[in-house]
Amino acid sequence: MDKKPLLEVKGLKTYFHTDDGIVKAVDGVSFEVYSGETLGIVGESGCGKSVTSLSVMRLLDEKGEIAGGEILFDGKDIRALSDEEMRKMRGNDMAMIFQEPMTALNPVYTIGDQITEAILLHQDVDKETARKMAIDMLRKVGIPEPEKRVDEYPHELSGGMRQRAMIAMSLSCNPKLLFADEPTTALDVTIQAQILELMLELQKEYGMAIVMITHDLGVIAEMAERVVVMYAGKVVEYADVVTLFKDPKHPYTWGLMNAIPRLDEDKDVLYNIPGVVPDPLDFPKGCRFNTRCPLATDKCRTEEPPLVEIEPGHKAACWHIDRLVEMVKVSRAGEGA
Amino acid sequence: MSQSENRKPILRVDNLVKYFPVRAGVFRRVVAHVKAVDNISLEVYEKETLGLVGESGCGKTTAGMTILRLHEPTSGRIIMNDEDTTHLFMPYFQARKYLINTYVKPFEDLKEKAGSVDSAIKSIEDEFDVKMAKLYFEKHNGSKSSFISDLMSDREAKRKAFRRQSQIIFQDPYSSLNPRMRIKNIIAEGAIIHKVASRSEVMARVADILKKVGLSEDHMSRFPHEFSGGQRQRIGIARALILNPHLIVADEAVSALDVSIQAQILNLLNDLQEEFGLTYLFIAHDLAVVRHVSRRVAVMYLGKMVEVASKTELFENPLHPYTVSLMSAIPIPDPTKKSKRIILQGDVPSPINPPSGCRFHPRCPIAKEVCAKEEPPLQDLGNGHKVACFFPGEMKR
């Protein structure tokens, strides 16, 4: 890939200063997003996937701090921008949709007010045009009777409709990059299917790049072209979606894929990833997955594995990539236990 | 499955209805009803897992709670271990009325129609009703008062027995454990209330069960906040197991957990089922999870049962358009298997004012005129595959 990436994140470190100590929520994360593509970020709760997107948008609260690394958007260093410049960028160049549309929308303003607010901030139009644009946008995201709905409050809409309104708002200024943070997790599957379909359609129409953040491997397989797998604030594997699902190299990725029940095949026993996600205040030394990894050796407990390129476009951070076959045996041995 | 016909249902639910009143105005008058569960019937056989699946608001949780009498059913009959338990939880006069309307009156009518007691009993098809008819006509010689006083005797003891035999695991392991109680007391509470053993025996059993669910004796004196979500769910499971129940209702037991923890809990539930011969009513919205744990699966939509079948039958040959669309809507974690999805239009309608006829018809891609007018009955199409649709199997993936 010799195209220039739209977004380049290099060695991003985001730390939170809490009363109990420093939480290294994101600790040296690198990835690129190219124009018009969908990048998936997958991981369990607490792996730092949401914090990554908030860092790029510079939406961290006062406890959070970008402690290191570079974030380049279109070649511009985001960390160097003033708050004013950053505000111009948000909404215009990059936008975000959240998991829970009810909490992300302001309950005391109508849908129309909230969409026109974004338009008025970023575009040189009068109120009336902005309102028309908002109605058009609502129609585009498949909200029936947009002329009426534009004057309704968030609580008057169903969960699926609210998410559509969120999408309308985030796309109203035609951003180049859209962060979607678990956009369908709170929705029912039939509504999830509608929203995913809508996002694909809008991506075709507007050509924006999407960073899809989710814990659902199904959604990743369906939507993403390339995937970042995160664990405990680190990228453990990075590959295109077909390679990742066919040939995962990191024991965590492998475990995750074998831990989920599938709709299209029967599994006698699900693979048990033993233990729990480590405490972010006290991540294990060396490889952060070593406490839960059946392949872990002394090296894993002392030295941190770098994210290395195994084959073009496929990176993994593990000392024992060649021993992954043993995982299959381990999971068999675990059967019935 | 023919196998299931031979097995004994441990739980049988007939025509269960649960409406919640909607109150409004100064006088809190009832202005409408939320028809959460509207006439569903199901059986759960011994040592099997019945998966109850549907989207939010379809009434699956209400069904589970009503079966356990954590909600009072509006109407319907709940039979557990071949005993009618419906009247056990009603106020006295309501229970009497229920018994008269369900058993005494129909039996008397039958006797009159058939001419004799024997032919009346013969004309009853349902095995359980035959048993009740025999109880009424033979044991109590057709005496209403003696039949009723027999069934109304020892209600307290029977209620307790029901509570012992049926337990629940909740979705949210954070809100379902009392934060001010120690783990041992949380788990032991049921056993102590039901006085199944002395306190020291109960504590020994708590320690034993903690090991069974993958925790250790050292955890007994801790508080819930010291545990992770997965561990808390294990505590919830231990609490459900302490009374040696027959039936466990698992209400979205793994939905709040991360993928890797979810697998641990699902495997644990499987192991425990084998070890203790448990029967699960597994309520969930995730079809893949339901497929993994269940032997049979029931699909609900807006308070109605739309399809029931064995797992293999349901996943290989779904007949109801809703089941078909639900399956096709779920993203498969395999990028090479991108299938064309059926995207349902619109949202799930409100259960306060459900659509006429088949409740799925406004969203159904193959709905015809009749679907808006008449309600399709849940019909058995063989092999225990039941479906409530006028055009079963006409919609393909």
What is the DSSP annotation of A273-336?
--S-PPPTTSPPSSSTTGGG-TT--HHHHHSPPP-EEEETTEEE--TTGGGTHHHHHHHHHTTT
Question: What is the chain A residue with the closest CA to B327?
Answer: A263
Q: Which residues pair with B284 in a beta bridge?
A: B53
Out of B271, B328, B331, name the one closest to residue A218 (CB).
B331
Q: Are residues A245 and B343, on separate chains, in Cβ contact within 8 Å?
A: no
Rounded to an integer, the average pLDDT of A129-155 is 92
Q: Is B340 on the interface with A (CB under 8 A)?
A: no
Confidence of residue B56 (pLDDT cuts 50, 70, 90): confident
Confidence of residue A330 (pLDDT cuts 50, 70, 90): low
For residue B327, which residues of chain A lie inside 8 Å, CB to CB?
A: 263
Confidence of residue B347 (pLDDT cuts 50, 70, 90): confident
Write down the pLDDT at residue A335: 45
Write down the pLDDT at residue A328: 73
For residue A218, which residues of chain B lie inside 8 Å, CB to CB?
A: 288, 330-333
| CB-based contacts of A39, cutoff 8 Å, min separation 6 | A31, A33, A209, A210, A211, A212, A224, A225, A226, A227, A228
Write down the pLDDT at residue A331: 64
Q: Is B316 on the interface with A (CB under 8 A)?
A: no
Out of A188, A222, A270, name the one closest to residue B263 (CB).
A270
Write down the pLDDT at residue B103: 95
Write down the pLDDT at residue B149: 94
Q: Give B132 to chain A, closest Cα distance, Å.
A: 42
A vs B: CB pairs below 8 A: 130
Confidence of residue B6 (pLDDT cuts 50, 70, 90): low
pLDDT digit string (tens) for A165-195?
999 999 998 899 999 999 998 888 888 999 9
Q: Are residues A222 and B332, on separate chains, in Cβ contact within 8 Å?
A: yes
Write down the pLDDT at residue B115: 87
Q: Is A92 on the interface with B (CB under 8 A)?
A: no
Write down the pLDDT at residue A266: 83
Write down the pLDDT at residue A333: 52
Confidence of residue A332 (pLDDT cuts 50, 70, 90): low
Question: Checking DSSP bridges between strand B304-310 and strand B296-301, what pairing results, if any?
Answer: antiparallel
Confidence of residue B3 (pLDDT cuts 50, 70, 90): very low
Rounded to an integer, the average pLDDT of B161-177 is 92
Complex ipTM value: 0.84
Rounded to an integer, the average pLDDT of B299-306 is 95
Round to whole Å and give the CA distance between A179 and A210: 6
pLDDT digit string (tens) for A76-114?
999 999 999 999 899 889 999 988 877 889 999 999 999
Residues 348-387 of B with CB under 8 A from A: 348
Q: Is A197 on the interface with B (CB under 8 A)?
A: yes
pLDDT digit string (tens) for B31-46?
999 999 999 999 999 9
Query: Is residue B96 scored above 90 in pLDDT?
Result: yes
Query: Is residue B222 scored above 80 in pLDDT?
Result: yes
Q: Is B259 on the interface with A (CB under 8 A)?
A: yes
Model's pTM, two decimal places?
0.89
